[in-house]
Amino acid sequence: MSYNVIFEDVGLKDYKETWDYQAILFEELKRSKEAKAGGRLLSGSYNPGTLIFVEHPSVFTLGKSGSENNLFLNNAEIERKGASFYRIDRGGDITYHGPGQIVGYPVFDLEVLKIGLREYVSLLEEAIIRTLKEYGLEGSRFSGGTGVWLDPDVKGRARKICAIGVKASRYVTMHGFAFNVNTDLSWFNYINPCGFTDKGVTSLENETGIKQDIEKVKSILKEMLKEQLNLEWIQKEGR
């Protein structure tokens, strides 16, 4: 049985605005789940999941277990560069979001999907890996952390192309992944990406040598996520 999901591509949108929006969806899905468990919902009225695709203006985000020592700029320097900084409630350390990067926020109920958190992260990684194959690249996992990498076990060559950091409560998820497509990689010089000091960061544009059609990449990735997580796209009510 597939999982009904509303897909929303919200374009370029402020990080905090998008965070607040997915937090609303997250709490609504948890409340709907609790109401169903308590017998207060009619059969078939359970809230669907939501998958958000977004690009953010330049922003650094630090996970709840991360260290601010992995950010090399102070608040004034961040502001001068036209960026922002947030400490947030996902797992993982520090990362950068910016234009040319596909950020995905799945607000899903893992119990409906019948998977645990570890398998969920693995399936997100697999969707990225299969998207990279469409461009002739061999993405893989790294035993020391989440996300998708190229040459993760080759000293001096390991580079991350997609970061993953999620939050889950009552098996409902938020936050997600950041896939570098045409991202300006120079921003990563201001951080230890994901807390690593000995590994690099890359993008699809950097690996192929060609600026990519990000809408095409989104289309491929959306289909890979559908296949890996057995999703069924549905229309948002009111549309």
Q: How confident is the model over 224-235, as a mean pLDDT?
A: 97
Alpha-helix residue ranges (DSSP H) falling in the chain: 15-37, 75-80, 110-113, 117-133, 204-208, 214-229
Strands 172-180 and 101-107: antiparallel
Nearest Cα to 60, choosing from 30, 85, 25, 88?
A: 85
pLDDT grade for 239, boundaries at 50, 70 and 90: very low
Concerning whether 162 is annotated as a catalytic residue, the answer is no
Cα angle at 218 between 215 and 219, to 5 degrees? 90
Per-residue pLDDT tens for 176-203?
999 999 999 999 999 887 667 677 899 9
- Determine the pLDDT at residue 213: 98
In the block, tokens 């950097």 appear at 206
Residue 199's pLDDT is: 77
Instruction: Tell whether the model's pLDDT for residue 64 goes beyond 60.
Output: yes
The pLDDT-based confidence of 92 (bands split at 50, 70, 90) is confident
Q: 98 in helix, strand or coil?
A: coil
Q: What is the mean pLDDT of residues 76-98?
A: 93
The pLDDT, as a whole number, for residue 39 is: 62
Q: Which of 20, 77, 83 is nearest to 54 (CA)?
A: 20
Percent of the chain past pLDDT 70, that is, above it, reads 93
Mean pLDDT, rounded, for 142-159: 89
pLDDT at 122 over 90: yes
Task: Given the residues 62, 127, 194, 204, select the one marked as catalytic.
Answer: 194
pLDDT (0 to 100) of residue 42: 46
CA distances from residue 40 to 27, 33, 112, 123, 128 in whole angstroms, order as listed:
17, 10, 18, 32, 38
State yes or no: pLDDT of 238 exceeds 60: no
Q: Alpha-carbon distance 162 to 51, whole Å?
A: 17
Domain boundaries 3-231, CATH class: alpha beta
Top pLDDT among 44 and 142 is at 142
pTM of the model: 0.93
Overall average pLDDT of the 90-98 stretch? 90
pLDDT computed for residue 68 by the predictor = 85
Angle between helices 214-229 and 117-133 (to 10 degrees): 140
Domain ranges of the chain: 3-231
Burial 108-124 (b: 16+ CB within 10 A, else e): bbbebbebeeeebbbbb
